[in-house]
Structure formats: structure tokens, C-alpha cells
Amino acid sequence: MNPVDLPPLNSLRALEAVARHRSFKRAAEELFVTPAAITHQIKQLEERLGMQLFKRTSQRISLTAEAEAALPLLQKGFATLAQAVAELHTQKQTPQLTVGTSPTFASRWLMPRLREFLLAHPGIDVRVSANSRSSEPSEGKTRRKKNTSRNAAPDIDILFTSEELAGPQAHRLFRVEVLPMCNPQLLLGPHPLQTPSDLRHQTLLHGDGLNADRTNSTWARWLRDVGASDVDARRGLQFEHSTLALDAAADGLGVILASPLLAAAEMSAGKVVIAIQHPLLLENSYYVIASETALSRPEVSAFHTWLLEKARTHMG
């Protein structure tokens, strides 16, 4: 029988419920309708099929032989329908994408802007994996690290690296300039910070990893650039992530070379200020990397496009 020729589904549900309970009242309670509605549906079904389905007596109701024979098939059909609906629910998945970046970029740049993307794309589940130093703003040559965890590899990577190592699938987001920043209190006191040489009396904060080569660190390059040969770039506090070094600077523990791009919140709150107006343009840049396969998925393409657009307007 063609599905379009079937009787109304509600009438078939009424038939199955009455047959199972042997009661119009109990069937009505199960289906949340009145007994009169059940009676009406059964009558319509009998008229459409041209046969009687129930034998009614004053004491009880019973199925006719035709209805008794059809009941197992009807119940099997409803079970199959329930299984099909359950399968549809299982197949319905929320589009999701995983973004891989560093804790610094995630917390200082991405998080303050991510709400905008989520509001524009409420049906996309975004996951941020920030468990590597793949985009810390130091001068180390960063390669795209192989995923060794049990989690799936990111659909999109945001790396701080060189153009050569970024690869052909990369798009530059922006370049980075860093300047000495510190808590405003360090500009005062017995050893006020006014010139590069004054850094001799301050604690240098390093955010390029615990095992970084300090002889060729970002601080070393900046000090060479300003001619401050009397300041030892190797001393100071060292942190695994530059976001921790920036927190330390905000707490007055020392001076950090930071980008206004990543220190915007602290600068707006007055927790850090630019101590010396001498920017150093870093050789590496931030790049977004996604394969053609990943970009073929609408949710990945949407995030990639949004990211590039936000990068073009990041200074605002």
C-alpha cells in the first residue's frame, strides 16, 4: 500500500491503544484525548476500511478476527517508526569546529571577540584548544606541532610563526609590534623607568618559555635595537606563556615586552602602560591555517572568513 493511501496515523494509534488496553478509557488517557475522541477515530477508521474492528458488549470489548490478525503487524510498524525517529535524532548533530592556538592568543585576543561570532552563528559549537605554545609572541621559529593527544586535530590553527613555516595554506592575520610595558607604579619610585638604561633597576619579564635562549630573546633584540648594552637581557622572571608574564606586569612584578594588541584589556584598565615609546616589529606574524578539506565545511569556512575580517579591523 502506498503510504499516502494509509488511514490517518492518529486513528491507527487509537486502534493499537484500544486493542492493547481493551479499553477506550485507558487508551484515551494514554493518548491524552477524551474517550469520545477515541470512539470517533475508531468509527472513522472502520468506515474507511469498510469493516468492523471491535465487538462491543456491555461488559467488555474484544477485537474482531481481522483486527486481531492485523494487530501484531500494526505494533511492529509503530516500533519501526519509533526506531526511525530515534535514528533521525541520532544523526542530527550540531556543526562543530575546533580552533587550536596558544593560551595567550586565546585569552587576550580571541575570547574578547568570540561572542560576536557565536551570536552570528548560534548553531555552531566552537571548541578552543589552547594547550600548546604554537603562537606565543616570541622570536622562536614555530612549526605546526603534530597532535599527540587523544583529541582530534584542530580544524583551524592560529600560529605565531614565519611565513616560510606557516605554509601555503596559511593566511596572515597581522604582524606584531612589542614595547616595554609595566604597572604605572614602576614609572615612579626611587628608580623611575624613563630610559632604556633604567631597565637595569627593573625585573625583566620573559614570556617565551622556560627553556628559551635568552641570549637571542625578544628582550635581547629590543635592547640591541635601542643600544642599551648596559642592561642584561638574560636576567629576570621567566614564564611558560606570555599571558602569565603580562599578568605579572599588571601586578607590578616587572617590565614586559608586549603587544598593545594582546594587552588591550590591561591598558584600558590602567593596569599597564607603555613605559618607553620604542616599538620593535617582530619577524614572525600571526597566521590562520586550515586545509581545503576543512574549509569545505560551512562552519569552518564561516569562522575562517570571520577571523580574517576581525584581523583587518583588530586595531579598532
Query: Would the pLDDT of 143 be above 70?
Result: no
Question: pLDDT band for position 167 (50/70/90)?
Answer: confident
pLDDT per residue as tens digits for the range 254-266 = 999 999 999 999 9
133 compared with 270, residue with greater pLDDT = 270
Mean pLDDT of the chain: 87
Could you tell me the three cell numbers for 170? 596559511
Give residue for cell 586565546: 106
Fold of 96-133+153-172+286-313: D-Maltodextrin-Binding Protein; domain 2 (3.40.190)
Query: Would the pLDDT of 245 be above 50?
Result: yes
Question: Considering the chain, what percentage of its residues have pLDDT values greater than 90?
Answer: 69
| Burial degree of 251 (CB within 10 A; 0-12, 13-18, 19+) | exposed
Nearest to 201 by CA among 278, 277, 280, 275: 275
* Least confident piece of the model among 126-140, 201-215, 267-281: 126-140
Number of Cβ atoms within 10 Å of the Cβ of 65 = 8
d(CA 123, CA 162): 34
Query: What are the Cα distances from residue 59, in Å, to 22, 26, 56?
Result: 11, 15, 8
Please check whether residue 298 is in contact with residue 95, taking contact to mean a CB–CB distance below 8 angstroms: yes
Please check whether residue 140 is in contact with residue 251, taking contact to mean a CB–CB distance below 8 angstroms: no
Nearest to 294 by CA among 155, 157, 166, 152: 155
Reduced to 3 states, what is the DSSP secondary structure of residue 56?
A: strand
| Mutual angle of helices 9-21 and 65-91, in 10-degree steps | 120
pLDDT, position 291: 92
If you count DSSP H runs as helices and E runs as strands, how many of each does the chain have, helices first?
Answer: 12, 11
**Terminal-to-terminal C-alpha distance of the chain:** 65
d(CA 132, CA 122): 27
CATH of 9-91 given 1.10.1520.10, 3.40.50.1980, 1.10.10.10, 3.40.50.800: 1.10.10.10
pLDDT, position 314: 66
Query: Would the pLDDT of 179 be above 60?
Result: yes
Could you tell me the three cell numbers for 78? 509503530
Number of Cβ atoms within 10 Å of the Cβ of 34 = 13
* Least confident piece of the model among 133-147, 223-237, 257-271: 133-147
State whether CATH 3.40.50.300 applies to domain 175-284.
no
DSSP calls for 126-183: EEEE--S-TT-SSSS--------SSSPPPSEEEEEE-HHHH-TTEEEEEEEEEEEEE-
- As annotated, the residues of the chain forming the CATH 3.40.190.10 domain(s) are 96-133+153-172+286-313, 175-284
- As annotated, the residues of the chain forming the CATH 1.10.10.10 domain(s) are 9-91
pLDDT per residue as tens digits for the range 67-111 = 999 999 999 999 999 888 877 766 667 789 999 999 999 999 999
